[in-house]
Structure 1
Amino acid sequence: MDLQNTDVNAEATVQLSRAKTLRLHTGNLVNRSRMKKKCPGSPSEELRDCIQATLSDWFSSTKPSTTDLQDTLVCSIPEAADAIKPEEREEMKVSAKLFLCEAGQSAIREAVEMASQMLTVSQLDSVSIAPPCAPEGDSQTLAHLQPAWEELEALVKSRKIAAIGTSDLDKDLLEQLYNWAQVKPSSNQVNLASCCVMPPDLTAFAKEFDIQLITHNDPKELMSAAAFQEAVREGARVLSTTDWRLEWVLRYSVIVKSRGIIKSKGYLVSAKRASP
């Protein structure tokens, strides 16, 4: 047995056990050879594999710390980072989709700030939001969307985001949001698994008000609580993870404008330990 590796794993386990918030940054999946070998069948499978691999790599590389244990534990792999250099920023388009697993406007600001910090940019070019699913049996309403949208608008006004978009809104709800909002949605993502052809009324409305319609294949629930806990358990090799709950997931991509190629892509994940 490698005694040094055992000490490292013990240190990482202690840090995880004491933390109240867990933040993960997968780094650039384009460059991570471990992830490039995988061909996930869905966004959910990709996210699960990313969480597991990032935790596993972090646990195997963590150095013993002499500092006080922190409430917020950030797990990232420095060699897999994808910071954007100042001189290349103008050539890059930074887009993100934020999945809110729990309601709460503070999560939106936290996710955007973490993405900006990890990518070393002052502003994200676009952020689309997938709010938490409405309570079972209820349909999505404008009232349900408004708190999250107001937080996005505040981030646009403070120049943290240039443009904001929505996900899976039908024509009526998109029109309600557009008429109410101070900062209008620039895009709306449509899941073609639920509608094989873009609805004509949605297409007409989007065209009239210059809203870009983008297709996607993300499930309504990107990751279940059980799937997240399993990924943490397998990546960290700890027995109990039931006290961790997923807060939000931000998926980002950095595209070279002139060439239309993806320079980097990755996930940021935040989870909180349930209160005793």
Structure 2
Amino acid sequence: MTRIVLSTGNIVTGGPSIIRKPGTPRSNLELTNSLRSNFQAAQEDYAPSPVGSNGNGHHHGNEHPVNGNSRPTADSWTTSEDSVLYVPRIDWAAAGLQEDRAQYEITLKLFFLPTAPVAKRREYVHEALQLVMKELRVEHIDLLIVSFPGISFEGDCEWEADKINATMGNEEDEVVTWAALENLYEQGKVSRLGIAEFGTEKLQRFISRVKVRPAVDQINIKDCCNVPPPLTKLAKREGVELLTHGDCTDILPSGTLRELLGHSAQGAGILADDENAQNGLRGNLIPEWVAKYTAFVSYRGVIENKGYFAGAELVTA
């Protein structure tokens, strides 16, 4: 069994990003494209200098040292620490924010994936939070939102979406998982807790069963016109802030992850393929969670740091 942590690094390029930027890609495409880009950058950084280079790792002309047979070996651009394989390796020394911590609003959205066991969600929460805090060099975050599998907010209208949503998910698992987040809240590591895709009935039942009520409910209304009036009324009465988003619920399916780490033209070359069992790791790859984080500079209204971590487990026969 091998634990794998994938990372995109900071995907904000060319200066800080305005928080509401038109044409922002869906989160699943943003995640996969950013991972591919970070894998390629790491392979280029750690690739041996070919003939014709200037000797300092920079390549001339149209050479592509990470393509084809010249792809560097996985151990040159990944690293193992405490039984976890980091893809790619992370330069923690370069991590951190540019300004004082008080200037930022830091949000972490954690997606629990349907392929992962519910019993391990407490571990996933701690692992994701520790990675984000280490990446940003902070001791707490402002908002932690959890997205449970099997829940969506979709329908021909907001009333239908709200009605269908009431029967989705697994309430017992959601309440048990929430207890792990409440511990982080009580420890001061998270200032506010939030949920995603909870309609009127689900939110009402959930509030009645938890100790620390969610401060935020984030819903996707791409297929609807408005937030359902009953949900708006409930949120106002209970002091829950309603936010909208464009994230995918199943953000990293097994097939997508295997393609990212496989030997295809756009793959990282980490996993073995069927043709040659010796050219990578073998086993059943199980995506477990995805963490999306943003560091928003409040007084300037811009995002300085944004990225993703993803956790998976490779189980050998």
Query: Whole-Å Cα distance in 2 between the matches of residues 194 and 150 of structure 1?
Result: 32
Larger radius of gyration: 2
Tell me what 2:299 maps to: 258
Given the alignment of the two structures, is residue 155 of structure 1 paired with residue 172 of structure 2, yes or no?
Answer: no
Matched, 1:30 2:12: yes
Question: Which one of 242, 248, 251 corresponds to residue 219 of structure 1?
Answer: 248
| Equivalent residue, structure 1, for 2:64 | none
What is the SS of the residue equivalent to 1:196?
Answer: coil
Secondary structure of the residue aligned to 2:188 is coil
CA distance in 2 between partners of 1:69 and 1:227 (Å): 23
Tell me, which stretches of 5 or more residues in structure 2 are unaligned? 16-22, 48-74, 152-166, 274-281
Contact 2:111 / 2:249 at 8 angstroms: preserved in 1? no
| Structure 2 partner of 1:126 | 143
* Whole-Å separation in 2 of the counterparts to 1:62 and 1:247: 28
State the match for 1:36 in structure 2: none
- Structure 1 residues 109, 123: CA separation in 2 closer, same or farther (over 3 Å shift)? same
Q: Would you say the 8 A contact 2:283–2:316 is kept in 1?
A: no
Q: Count the aligned residue pairs.
A: 247
User: What is aligned with 1:7?
Assistant: none
Counterparts of 1:161-180 in structure 2, within 5 Å, are 161-180=190-209
- Identify the match of residue 94 of structure 1 among 106, 114, 117: 106
**Deviation of residue 160 (structure 1)?**
1.3
- Kept in 2, the 8 Å contact 1:24–1:54? The answer is no
Cα distance in structure 1, aligned partners of 2:192 and 2:144: 7
- Shift of residue 165 of structure 1? 0.3
What is the distance in 2 between the residues matched to 1:133 and 1:275? Answer: 27
Structure (1 or 2) with the greater helix fraction: 1
Partner of 1:229: 258
- Paired with 1:203 and 1:81, the residues of 2 have a C-alpha distance of 43
CA distance in 2 between partners of 1:197 and 1:224 (Å) = 29
Q: What is the percentage of aligned positions where both structures have the same residue?
A: 25
1:84 is the counterpart of 2:66: no
Pairwise CA RMSD of aligned residues? 2.6
Contact 1:82 1:264 in 2 (8 A): no
CA separation of 1:110 and 1:49: change in aligned 2, threshold 3 A: same
Helix, strand or coil for the counterpart of 1:236? coil
| Aligned-residue offset at 1:69 | 5.6
Deviations 1:127-182 (A, max 9, x none): 10001227xxx722421311210110011111111111000011111111112211
Displacement of 1:244 in angstroms is 2.2
- TM-score between both structures, scaled by the size of structure 2: 0.71
Preserved contact between residue 53 and residue 235 of structure 1 (Cα < 8 Å): no
Instruction: Find the counterpart in structure 1 of residue 40 from structure 2.
Output: 56
Return closer, same or farther for 1:46/1:55 CA change in 2, 3 Å cut-off. Answer: same
- Given the two structures, how large is their TM-score scaled by the length of structure 1? 0.81
Unpaired runs of 5+ residues, structure 1, are 1-18, 34-38
* Selected match of 1:110 from 127, 132, 148: 127
Quickly say closer, same or farther: Cα 1:53–1:154, change in 2 above 3 A. Answer: same
Answer yes or no: is the 8 Å Cα contact 1:156–1:163 preserved in 2. yes
Cα gap change, 1:235 to 1:250, in 2 (>3 Å): same
